[in-house]
Chain A
Amino acid sequence: MKNSFPLKQELKEYIVETSLTDKSKIKDDTLIFDAGLLDSMGLLFLIEFLNEKYGIEVEDDELNPKNFESINSIVAFVQSKKEIA
């Protein structure tokens, strides 16, 4: 199993910074859209962040809750994309 700790931390810090939310309120399985942490522009900027930071390109059909609904989901998605690459 890959070490996802730095990725998870970086994602959490990114979301805390962009949503001005208390870090303690964001758990790995918090549903980030339901919690109002990211709206559509927030998601768009997150996709840009993933591209710039990890070289991940997101396709139309990859935009679904399974890949983006929580920090855990995003970490799994990024890792799977990196494996394919």
Chain B
Amino acid sequence: MKNIKEPFSKNILKINDLEQTSNNIITKLKADVIKKLQRHGAVVGISGGIDSSVTLALAAKAFGPNKVLGVLLPEKDSSDDSRSLALELADKFGIDTVTENITSALDGFGCYQRRDEAIGRIVKDFNPKEDKAKIEIKQDIKQNIPAIFSITVIKPNEEVVSKLLPAKEYLQIVAATNFKQRSRMTMLYYHAERLHHAVIGTPNKHEVEQGFFVKYGDGGADIMPIGHLYKTQVYQLAEYLGVPQGIIDRTPTTDTYTAEQTQEDFFYQMPFETMDLIWYGWENNYPAEEVGQIMGLNTNEVESIYKNFVRKRKTTEYLRMKPIF
């Protein structure tokens, strides 16, 4: 059989017909929600980030603005930009919004107190009222070793303290922080159920496949219309759909920890443009040497990144599993 695989290039993921791609997603979204899920509209949590913005725009076109509700779900660690950008987005697409501040709910769960207690066990003089904190992966993805998280605390005088997180504290910080995504999911379902709408999830392909989501949190949704799109493709669609430029230009963050934290620092360990292409190369069995030549990396580096992808996919399989019975 003739090998018809396209040679690897930096344009290999580029969507050439944005109108067709967009229409296909919109048609499928509408059909799935109405016919399969038997719901009449959409509820989308909007954060001012690129993924939720594109999802909202697609939902608006699928169902019409009157059958879509945008829900803002801030809490005390959310950045100020998130609200203004989310409102600008909703205004652009004529969507009604509701703001649900979940800080009290998170206080009730002990989210902040449990997280800060674990940080305090590692950084002894941590003061949650003044200091900012985040967790991040500091290892180079080109090294063939699994990712381990560090805690970074930034003092008011800009002093930075960073320590490797032991298992117990790492797990407690993540478990406590996950109250945020799970509380948001609960509120989204409240609105979806009262309106007889579906919850439209916002994860992109990387989040789904590398497990960068919280099980029953942002992973808890009825349908994920951009779950098959690479991040650079999400940006292409954002431009095409007319998502506000402030959202497109914003660096993707987790908007979860008190210190500023990009998604690259937190999880992906490389820029989206690079990750998209190498992931595509890995997923489609392109030799590391061919990918390396295009990406300016040596074969060993690409092989290490491929191994990292294999590990991330395997490690996060649990997140994508349905209950076993």
Task: Give a binary string over A25-45; 1 marks a CB under 8 Å from any B CB, 0 the rest.
Answer: 000000001101011111111
B127 within 8 A of A: no
Q: Are B311 and A40 in contact (CB under 8 A)?
A: yes
What 1/0 mask marks residues of chain B from 163 to 180 whose CB sits below 8 Å from any chain A CB?
Answer: 111111010000000000
User: Are A59 and B314 in contact, CB atoms less than 8 angstroms apart?
Assistant: no
B301 shortest CB reach to chain A, Å? 13
26 contacts across the A-B interface (CB closer than 8 A)? A33-B144, A33-B145, A33-B311, A34-B307, A40-B146, A40-B147, A40-B311, A41-B315, A43-B146, A43-B148, A44-B148, A44-B165, A44-B167, A44-B170, A45-B167, A47-B166, A48-B166, A59-B164, A60-B138, A60-B162, A63-B139, A63-B148, A63-B164, A64-B143, A64-B145, A65-B145
- Find chain B residues with CB under 8 A from A42 CB: 146
Residue among A33, A45, A63 making CB contact with B307, cutoff 8 Å: A33
Shortest Cβ distance from residue A48 to the other chain B in the assembled complex, whole angstroms: 5
Interface, chain A (partner B; CB < 8 A):
33-34, 36, 38-45, 47-48, 51, 58-60, 63-65, 68-69
B298 CB-CB contact with A under 8 Å: no
* Assembled-state Cα–Cα distance A48/B146 (Å): 15
A33 and B166 contact, Cβ closer than 8 Å, known pairs A39-B311, A40-B315: no
For B148, B163, B165, B168, which residue has the most chain A Cβ atoms within 10 angstroms?
B148
Q: Would you call B150 an interface residue if the criterion is a C-beta within 8 Å of the partner chain's C-beta atoms?
A: yes
Chain B min CB distance to A66 (Å): 9
**Neighbouring B residues of A33 by C-beta, 8 Å:** 144-146, 307, 311
Contact, CB under 8 Å: B147 / A48:
no
How many angstroms between the C-alpha atoms of A69 and B307 in the bound complex? 13
**Structural contact, A47 and B311, CB atoms closer than 8 A:** no
The SS class assigned to the A binding surface is helix
| Residues of the A chain whose Cβ atoms lie less than 8 Å from the Cβ of B147 | 40
Alpha-carbon distance A38/B139, docked complex (angstroms): 17
Cα A68 to Cα B168 in complex, Å, equals: 20
Nearest-neighbour CB distance to chain B for A39, whole angstroms, equals 4
Given contacts A33-B311, A44-B165, A63-B164, 10 further A-B contacts (CB under 8 A): A39-B146, A41-B315, A43-B145, A44-B148, A44-B170, A47-B148, A47-B166, A58-B164, A63-B148, A68-B145
Report the Cα distance A60→B143, complex, angstroms: 13
Nearest 10 CB-CB pairs, A to B? A40-B146, A39-B315, A44-B167, A43-B146, A48-B167, A40-B147, A65-B144, A65-B145, A60-B138, A45-B167
Closest A residue to B165 by beta carbon equals A44
Bound Cα distance from A45 to B145, whole angstroms:
14
- What are the residues of chain A within 8 A of B168 when measuring CB–CB? 48
Once bound together, how far apart are the Cα atoms of A34 and B148, in whole Å?
A: 16
Are B166 and A60 within 8 A (Cβ)? no
> What chain B residues lie within 8 Å of A68 (beta carbons)?
145
